[in-house]
Amino acid sequence: MEFKDFNLNKRLVNALDDMGYSTPTPIQEHAFSVAMSGADVCGIAQTGTGKTIAYLLPLLNQWKYNKDKDPQILVLVPTRELVTQVVETVKQLSTYLSLDVKGIYGGVNMNTQRLELQDGCDVLVATPGRLYDLAVVGAFKVKTIKKLVIDEMDEMLNLGFRTQLKNIMDLLPQRRQNLLFSATLIEEVEEILSEFLNNPVRVEAAPAGTPVEGVEQTAYEVPNFYTKVNLLKLLLTEDDTMRKVLVFTASKSQADQLWEELESGLDEPFGLIHSNKEQNYRFNTVKQFKQGIYRVLIATDIVARGIDIAEVTHVINFDLPDQPESYIHRIGRTGRAEAKGIAISFITEKDAKAREAIEDLMKFSIPVSPLPEHLEISTRLTEDEIPKVYVKEIEIKLPKKEERGPAFHEKKEKNKKVNVRVSHKDKMMKKYGKPKKRGAKK
């Protein structure tokens, strides 16, 4: 089947041709007819399967021009980067439509966004927190929204947006079509489905936990952080196929530390992105990575879901993620649009449980490759890797309260103060040794 076989508006078909798309992916094919019927949809799809177009195509195909420019379609996504990506996709698909799209997210001035929304829009893409803040101050008309999309639902819940999502859905009109997309169908997602969706039709591109088919996975078992650094430098230096590489670390501090090691050890620029970086810096860094100015982008999981970067040749898990689903999303950044990709994981002893959880989810054992013979095995350890020495605490038993002595010393006799009233007669006797009589009055 091709897109031209769908009952699509000719202007959408032309836009797809401009984008170079002719054949739909499985999730696009399965979701289109269900969404076009007006039924609520629950889509289960991994990163890289084309689900953004899967929900946008039927909604834009049903969209009708509104001269008041009030939002008819609302798309909720978990990150600022994903807002930007979805807005760009809407613009590409609506090249031949008189449609206006706006994106709003936190971290920037809310009043500026409020002013932008005064001009209205047809499609509104937003993160939940900022959308709710603008909705309650009347920045846009909520009652005109007819279609609601919640993308990356499991990640929304992981980031703590459950309350905001419930508040938003309470504000929206009861009569609306809901399209919910998630990579995994965790228990909390099931609860949202039963509470807010009306008998949703479930469509799946692949069973939850299935990695993208075009990704070749391998792993290296390494002892510590600095050996990982040496291995990464070796691979980047000797493997000519590493043309565009995403490197994932477990934390922001780890990302900073790795960036410093690579910057000082290799003669090329490297990109670095995590949540401590300013928004403009993050956008510019990703832009330079897309343009090929940076061959390597070091990142935390903030970009595992939120950025669509074409032609990533390799994903390297410098650290395994705590959540097995995050591994699926990480490696899904390569092998996109029917291209082949390679995912490499650096695994230490402490990663045993994470590795087991990932392999259980995929129902697949990640093949282990032997370490290169000329790899330098470092004996240097980070502070977290240094074995902790525990000293046994000796308990000192204090005597019972009644057995303890006084907590003060006895005063010297001369410092003892006794309040005794002394008569004048006694004072004279003490001073002169005999009673002193007053003289006769004259």
Copy the structure tokens of residue 90.
């809407």
What does the pLDDT read at residue 386? 84
Which ranges of the chain have pLDDT less than 70? 47-48, 206-212, 302-308, 337-338, 399-409, 413-414, 416-418, 436-442
Segment (H or E) for 36: helix 26-36
CA atoms within 13 A on the CB side of 253: 4
What does the pLDDT read at residue 428? 80
What does the pLDDT read at residue 46? 72
Identical fold between 3-204 and 215-362: yes
Is the pTM higher than 0.75? no
pLDDT in tens, 318-371: 999 988 878 888 888 887 766 789 999 999 999 999 999 999 988 899 999 999
Dihedral angle sign, alpha carbons of residues 276, 278, 279, 284: negative
Parse the chain into domains and list their residue ranges.
3-204, 215-362
Count of other CB atoms within 10 angstroms of residue 186: 15
Class of domain 3-204: alpha beta
Q: At what angle do helices 51-62 and 80-93 cross, to 10 degrees?
A: 50
CA atoms within 13 A on the CB side of 109: 4
Q: What is the mean pLDDT of the chain?
A: 86
CATH of domain 215-362: 3.40.50.300
